[in-house]
Amino acid sequence: MRPRTPRTTWLAAAVAGATAVAATALAGTPVAARPVVAAPVAAAVAAPNIALANVKAHLSQFQSIATANGGNRAHGRPGYLASVNYVKAQLDAVGYTTTVQSFTYNGATGYNLIADWPGGDPNAVVMTGAHLDSVTAGPGINDNGSGSAAILEVALTVARTGFAPDRHLRFGWWGAEELGLRGSQYYVNNLPAAERTRIKQYLNFDMVGSPNAGYFVYDGDNSDGVGAGPGPAGSAQIEQTIQAYFTSIGVPTRGTDFDGRSDYGPFISVGIPAGGTFTGAEGIKSSAQASLWGGTAGQAFDPCYHRSCDTTTNINDTALDRNADAIAYTVWTLAQVATPPPGTTVYSDTFETATGWTTNPAGTDTATAGQWERGDPEATSSSGIATQLGTTVSGSYDLVTGRLAGSSAGDYDLDGGVSTIQSPAITLPSTGTLTLSFAWYLAHLNNSSSADYLRVRVVGTGTVTALNVAGAATNRAASWQSASVNISTLRGQTVRIVIDAADASTASLVEAAVDDVRIVQS
C-alpha cells in the first residue's frame, strides 16, 4: 500500500473523475438508519475453502525471492521481475492466458501481469487485483505479498475446481503501486473505452494479513457517512457481498474509505465499481477496535509497515485465512448470474422491446410527474445519493418512474401521488408450481415517509401481492434487488402484473424501477 497522500489532492483527480464518468455513484445513510438490503443471491456453485498452507507457501516463495535479490521486490529491481515470473509460471501451468504488460517509470521498467480464465461472458468481466511490488526497504510480505498470494491461490483454485462462471474472470498483479499506483494506472489508461465498459467490477486486496489485524471493507456506498465518498454504482454490491461472508463466520467488519492509497483508485476514476478488504497499515488500533477484533490497542495494525521486518513472520494467519476465503466467496458469488427457477417459462419480459404494458390502466392515477414508462434510464443523484440508476439488470431498458435525469434530481422523479403500469394479459397454466421473479429498487431521500411505496401485484380472479415496500424518513440509495414469489393460487387464470409506485409525502423525492420479469412453471 502506498503512503498516505493529502485527501484533497486525490479527491480532485479521482472522485471528480468518477462523478463525471459514473454519476450513478451510490451513497448510503448513517449506519443506524440504513434500510435492510437483501442479501446477495446465493452462488449456484458454493465457493471452496482456500487452503491457508498454500497461500503461505506463495509467501515463502516471495520471501525467498526477496532474500536472493537484495532484500526487496521493488519496482525496477530484479526481485520484482522474479516475483512476476513466479506468479506467471503458476498460472500458465493450470491453463490461464497470461499477459505481461511493461511500462516505464523513474527510468526503470515495470510490469503488470494479467491472467484471464477461459470462458464466461467477455462483456461482463469480474476482475480481481493486488499489487505485487514491495518498497525498497523490505521484502513486502504483508504489503503486499499477502494480497498477491491470496488472489493467486484463489485463481489456482478456480482451475483446480473447474469453476465455469457465467462472467469472465480476470486477475491482475500490479507493478510500482508503492510509487503512486503506476502499474494499475497504466493498465486502466491503456484500456480502450469498450474494454473498460466490459469490466463490471474490480476487487482489490492490499494488506490482508496484518499482524494486529482489523477487518475493514471498502465502503462502497459511503454508509459511514464520512470520508472520500462512495464508489461508482455497483461498489455497494461488492461491499455487501464481502460483508455477507464475514457475517457468516461471525466476524464484524467496519468500512474504510476509498482514500486513493491502493489500486482501486484508477478503476473508480473511470467509473468501474470497486471494493475489497484491508487489515490495516500504519494506523493505530483503538481500544474499541481491540475490543471488537482482539489484538493490541495503541499499536499499529502493521508495526512493520514499509520496513525490513515485513517478512513471513509479520503475518496474522487467522486474518490471512479469513480474507483468502472472503476473496473466494466474493469472486464465486459475483461471477455467477442468479439461475432462474427451473421449469418452463410461461412469461418473460426484459423490456428491451415494447410488449404492451399500459400506464394508468384504470384511469385513476394521481401522479403529476415521473410516471411509469418503459425506457433507457438516465442516472440521477442528490447529494451523492443515487436516486435513479442509469444501468439495468440486463440490456438497456427497464420500467422506471421518469427515465430522464434533468438538471436536478427532482426534475423527473415521481411526484403528486400514484402511478401505475400494467402488463398485457397472461394466461397461466392450470398445473404445476408457478413462480414470479423480477428485479426492483425503490429509492428515496429522508424527506420520504411510509406513505410512499412500491408495490407489485398479480391480479386475476384473486390477487397475489409479490412486493410491497414502503418509504421511510431515511436516505435509501437505488440498488437492484431480486424478488421471487409463488403465485400458484392463480393457476388457470388470465392475470395481469400490476406495478404501483406512490409519492404521497410532501416534497419527497421518490424513484422506482422494475426489470427482468419472469413467470415459470415447475
Instruction: Report which of 356, 360, 380 is spatially closest to residue 368, judged by C-alpha positions.
Output: 360
Q: Report angle CA 122, 123, 124 to the nearest 5 degrees.
A: 90
Place of cell 474494454: 195
Fold entry, domain 344-521: Jelly Rolls (2.60.120)
Strands 121-131 and 167-174: parallel
- What residues form DSSP beta bridges with 128? 171, 203
Domain boundaries, the chain: 22-334, 344-521
C-alpha cell at 377: 434510464
C-alpha cell at 345: 417459462
Question: Does CATH number 3.60.21.10 belong to domain 22-334?
Answer: no
- What residues form DSSP beta bridges with 443? 511
Count of other CB atoms within 10 angstroms of residue 458? 24
Sign of CA dihedral 393, 399, 405, 408: negative
Cα–Cα distance measured from residue 256 to residue 218, given in angstroms and rounded to the nearest whole number? 5
C-alpha cell at 517: 420479469
pLDDT for 481 = 87
DSSP string covering 37-105? -PPPPPPSSPPPPPPHHHHHHHHHHHHHHHHHTTT--BTTSHHHHHHHHHHHHHHHTTT-EEEEEEEEE
List per-residue pLDDT tens for the chain, 522 residues long: 866 543 333 333 333 333 333 332 222 322 222 222 333 333 358 899 999 999 999 999 999 999 999 999 999 999 999 999 999 999 999 999 999 999 999 999 999 999 999 999 999 999 999 999 999 999 999 999 999 999 999 999 999 999 999 999 999 999 999 999 999 999 999 999 999 999 999 999 999 999 999 999 998 655 544 444 455 766 888 998 999 899 999 999 999 888 888 999 999 999 899 999 999 999 999 999 999 999 999 999 999 999 999 999 999 999 999 999 999 999 999 998 755 456 789 999 999 999 999 999 999 999 999 999 999 999 888 877 888 998 898 889 999 999 998 777 778 888 899 999 999 999 999 988 899 999 999 999 888 898 999 999 999 999 999 999 998 888 888 888 888 899 999 999 999 999 999 998 777 889 999 999 999 998
CA–chain centroid gap for 18, Å, is 15
Contact in structure between 130 and 140 (CB atoms under 8 Å): no
Contacting residues for 153 by C-beta, under 8 A, at least 6 apart? 50, 51, 54, 55, 58, 324
Whether 344-521 and 22-334 are alike in CATH topology: the answer is no
Strands 426-427 and 385-388: unpaired
Q: Counting Cβ atoms within 10 Å, is residue 515 exposed (0-12), middle (13-18) or buried (19+)?
A: buried
Specify the length of the chain in residues.
522
440-456 b/e (C-beta count within 10 Å ≥ 16 → b): bbbbbbbebbeebbbbb
**Which listed residue (177, 178, 239, 511) is catalytic?**
177
Cα–Cα distance measured from residue 236 to residue 217, given in angstroms and rounded to the nearest whole number? 11
Q: Which residue type, as a one-letter code, is found at position 451?
A: A
CA–chain centroid gap for 386, Å, is 15
DSSP type of residue 31? G
Instruction: Report which of 77, 229, 208, 102 is spatially closest to residue 145, judged by C-alpha positions.
Output: 208
Contact in structure between 323 and 154 (CB atoms under 8 Å): no
Cα–Cα distance measured from residue 120 to residue 167, given in angstroms and rounded to the nearest whole number? 4
Cα–Cα distance measured from residue 227 to residue 52, given in angstroms and rounded to the nearest whole number? 33
Count of other CB atoms within 10 angstroms of residue 192? 8
SS3 labels along 254-299? EEECCCCCCCHHHHHCCCCCEEEEECCCCCECCHHHHHHHCCCCCC
Cα–Cα distance measured from residue 424 to residue 16, given in angstroms and rounded to the nearest whole number? 44
Active site residue 511: no
DSSP type of residue 413? S
pLDDT for 35 = 29
Instruction: Report which of 335, 304, 308, 218 is spatially closest to residue 265, judged by C-alpha positions.
Output: 218
- Element at 427 (helix H, strand E): strand 426-427
